[in-house]
Structure 1
């Protein structure tokens, strides 16, 4: 059950930057940079806090999610491919060279790679979304690993897979279909790519809101960006609302913790409406929580 809605402080603009659909936000600890994509523009961004503008490069297709690897490479979820890239240490090139790794749904032209992140064991778990006009639930959830390749997770089909994150012990996976107001959870076995006991985690309080990206903090609480609701909401491990922070835009997309102490909480947004600041990066100055480091993708 969602519980009562407790309003917190508003998020502030960290970087005034217009993107049609900013997503895939990720913190790179070694280089102290934030990375994200503008999905429809097929553009990858990197930004060091304090810089006046992000560095940008073009991609050959839309990218929905990213992960850093143990080797230092980046795993990029293009529309129909997972690819490796060597992230430069300074400014991005005009085009980022990519090495295709595995095709995703090659026989289904209506879907593309969407939200994703590594699990606690270094596998990349991601979903696909239907981009056709009818928005039927034909998207899937997958796990990709070097050892086993691409394995489909036995989860309900989704129109827009999202909210993928994992409990502190890695045994619970959270996920959603952004066509509904619910965030779901299930038991998760990383080694076998097995899921079981799919059950509700929470339901968003506002009728116009849909769950988008999510992240777990060091207390095991889940932060979710409410697309259409203009809020970033923190849920307790039992799914009750702890507090909800408003944004000056209606369509936040993905939160991420970063900074040296993982005590900064930023969120990307989309310019689905032409509000001031739509597409910018927003920051919660005092989140009252710390993140936990993402497990690098095991590409050894």
Structure 2
């Protein structure tokens, strides 16, 4: 399994790939350049949109538009992407929004981190469709979050821990309980970043600084390693026809001699089968 180039780009910190079934396109962001990118793999059409602030994630909304995890909180773009409003505005000096994902019930689970990555300086919060915010836990660099196909388990990454953790998920109470280690990344292999869960319940994790995508079985066993040409993959998501292609965002920030493809959007054709993304219900 060899990665291909989907979009040749020089993103500083590409992140957050999400398949938008309504538009048959992939949405991803360049956090530090404050840009939202879209890519249609059939036509090859691309768009790039500037945001008000550094943007950690952009996800589709029910009825059109986007919900965005910005530096100072959660924002909403209307269906025309020309109108913007704050849903949850809570600026903290030195902190920004990072990875985010929409849960099966339509709520947004959004992470934050300090620019200096101070331990405990970030958090993971649940933003209900009506804008109510509940802090779930504190973190240093809140990153990948995902759910098992049956919704019973939630997977989560706080990157400096070098772990993918798993929680029992109470969908009725919207709670993540009984946190424990699911998979540990050995020293020298990089840091876990974004993740996605496939239709078989396997967890795919991007290793920042490790140049790999790893797949773990539902039992936490490593069963596949995909070597990449770039050092800093950031996240992955299934998209395309049948949700069978794995798209990978990458970064070039902090590298003195980045690979020519660093910052590009890569793809692993026919890598497996993904789960449909839920749009934000707000």
TM-score of the alignment, normalized to the shorter chain, above 0.5? yes
Q: What is the TM-score when the length of structure 1 is the normalising length?
A: 0.88
Partner of 1:71: 63
2:259 to 275, 282, 295: 275
- Counterparts of residues 111-190 of structure 1 (less than 5 Å): 111-132=95-116, 135-147=118-130, 149-153=132-136, 155=137, 157-190=138-171
SS in 1 for 2:160: coil
Deviations 1:81-100 (A, max 9, x none): 21111355xxx8xxx53211
In 2, are the aligned partners of 1:206 and 1:229 still within 8 Å (CA)?
no
CA–CA separation in structure 1 for the residues paired with 2:96 and 2:244: 32
In the alignment, structure 1 segments of 5+ residues that lack a partner are 1-8
CA–CA separation in structure 2 for the residues paired with 1:252 and 1:162: 13
Partner of 1:291: 274
Quick check: which one's strand share is greater?
A: 2
1:130 Cα offset (Å): 1.4
In 2, are the aligned partners of 1:13 and 1:280 still within 8 Å (CA)?
yes
Residue 103 (structure 1) aligned with residue 89 (structure 2): yes
SS in 2 for 1:282: strand
In 1, are the aligned partners of 2:16 and 2:57 still within 8 Å (CA)?
yes
Deviations 1:148-203 (A, max 9, x none): 711111x3x21100111111122211111111211111112234232221100001
Partner of 2:12: 20
Q: State the 4+ residue runs in structure 1 displaced beyond 4 angstroms.
A: 50-53
CA–CA separation in structure 1 for the residues paired with 2:172 and 2:94: 30
CA–CA separation in structure 2 for the residues paired with 1:218 and 1:164: 16
In the alignment, structure 2 segments of 5+ residues that lack a partner are none
Q: In structure 2, do the counterparts of structure 1 residues 12 and 164 end up closer, same or farther at CA, with 3 Å as the change threshold? A: same
Q: What is the TM-score when the length of structure 2 is the normalising length?
A: 0.93
Deviations 1:6-28 (A, max 9, x none): xxx33121211110001121111
Could you say what the CA RMSD is over the residues aligned between the two structures, in angstroms?
Answer: 1.8
